[in-house]
Amino acid sequence: MIVLDKLTKRFGPKILFENVSLQFDPGKRYGLTGANGAGKSTLIKMLGGEEDSDAGSVNIPEKLRLGVLKQNHFEYDKERIIDAVMMGNKALWDAMAEKEKLLGGEITDEIGIRLGELEGVIAEENGYTAESEAAELLVGLGIPAHRHTEPMSTLPAGYKLRVLIAQVLFGKPDVMLLDEPTNHLDLESIRWLEEFLINYRGTLVVISHDRHFLNAITTHIADIDYQTITFYTGNYGDFVEQKYENRQKAEAQNKAAEKKIKELQGFIDRFGSHASKSKQAQSRVKMIEKLEVKELKRSSLVRPFIRFEFEKPSGRDVLRMEGVDKSFGKKKHIFENLALNINRGDKIAVIGANGVGKSTLLKLMVGAFPRLDEDTKKETLTPDKGEIRWGHETSVGYFAQDHHEALGHHSAGRTAFEWLYQFDELATQESIRGILGRLLFSGEAALKHIESLSGGEAARLLMAKLLLLKHNVLILDEPTNHLDIESIEGLIDGLNLFQGTLIFVSHDRHFVDSLSNRVIELIPGEGGTSDEREACTVEDFGGTYAEYMERAGRDHLRA
């Protein structure tokens, strides 16, 4: 059990939450929700002992084993992948390391006794099956067995995250604290993680902006809003309904109280000076004193208003890729003789395992467009062979997966307003301010410096650029990473109304399910996604994601 006692946390004048007292119970799985900047990650750090409170306390019994998803993906670069996982059980790892060290020297009676003690710890912690358990976790998260003895440094960032998730799970903690565990996981790995967490019997506190993930695993929601933390029973869908109803009820009660006070005050004003009515007037004064109009704090969760417009539509044929090859080195083949035709109005979800080539496909498409700004050009690729042709009157906007990289190497010192203004210096300051306001950069927020932006703010600023430049083709690589759920919903609203062509990669099933009218799945060739592999095959389906998954015989909300 985790107990918060009168907990308060501020950042300067901003109150995240104040005087909060509640408890996280064993066996319950809590989704931690709130707007970007509301304090979700801060609370996770406080629960894990990494950050102090301004007032109050977090109380966790010492006997409870705590598992925290590490945010430093490079911490274990020198370790073998499987060893990094087994380090999740500190008692076991320490015992195994000490045993190995002692066996390398002279064995005295004293050391023999110590070795016996260590054997007891290893047995108690199931050390003799540890490596096979760690391997099972890694395979479930999409890391093949032949890579388990390689150094962590050989893995891309997304796969390092998977190892760190496996590390937390391996430790069999009584309490698990997970901050955005589905970021960079492909759909199959998310499904595997869901099944694992559903069967977890400890206390789980998880931050995620993937509503399907939260709906699948949570039994409760802990919502940070209105400068407090409120518990709701049920999954994310239940929480949204309850929160809306509670707010509507509170607003209705306030309106009823205000109306009654107005009626009572009217009587007092008319008859308060009349002797015959004075007792009735005094009675109404007392009634007013008992009526309460509660101050309803403003929610920190706001949905951006996103509308993608363009002046001229593209031609019917938007993009043709013919005979395209792409490899990295001599042995890692991504595409071979790839052929794709994209038509006006297509809304294409590109799906597949991590590392199969989804981002590479998007970068090849964008790289073939002739009119790119300098920073976007740096993020693109060219094919080794074949032709990529953009059609008549196309205008391409690209949203890169690495948000801060996409903001540019020369953005340091610039404010959000200055950064956006550079892309259309003929625009009025009012129009730039208007776009920023719609993307939640109102007032002083538009003057924040680029280097101080959070991940969610960086993503919204890149969206502002797409709104400003009015492209009729949008290519988006993981646009929902770092966005809170309301911002994701605002983006979905805008893209559903978009009359142009959309090509996107996303591991958010709700996002994919809401937008796609065509699905392109990249299926790994022999060798999977390793450094030695054959080119992937491409399955092109003309229908929605739900229809695609139904044809494949899978539940699209769980795949």
Give the per-residue pLDDT at 555.
45
Integer-rounded Cα Rg, in Å, for the chain is 28
DSSP string covering 121-185, please? HHHHTTGGGHHHHHHHHHHHTT--GGGTTSBGGGS-HHHHHHHHHHHHHHT--SEEEEESTTTT-
pLDDT of residue 349: 96
Q: How far apart are CA 170 and CA 87, in angstroms?
A: 8
Q: What is the pLDDT of residue 207?
A: 92
The neighbour count for residue 396, using CB atoms within 10 Å, is 24
pLDDT of res. 253: 73
pLDDT, residue 296, reads 60
* DSSP strand pairing (29-33 vs 203-207): parallel
Average pLDDT per block of 10 residues along the chain, 559 residues long:
90 86 94 86 90 90 87 84 92 90 87 91 90 92 90 84 89 90 81 88 91 92 90 87 73 75 77 64 76 65 89 95 93 93 96 89 94 81 95 95 74 88 91 94 89 86 95 95 86 96 92 94 83 88 89 51
pLDDT at 508: 86
For residue 467, the model assigns a pLDDT of 96
CATH architecture of 317-402+471-551: 3-Layer(aba) Sandwich (3.40)
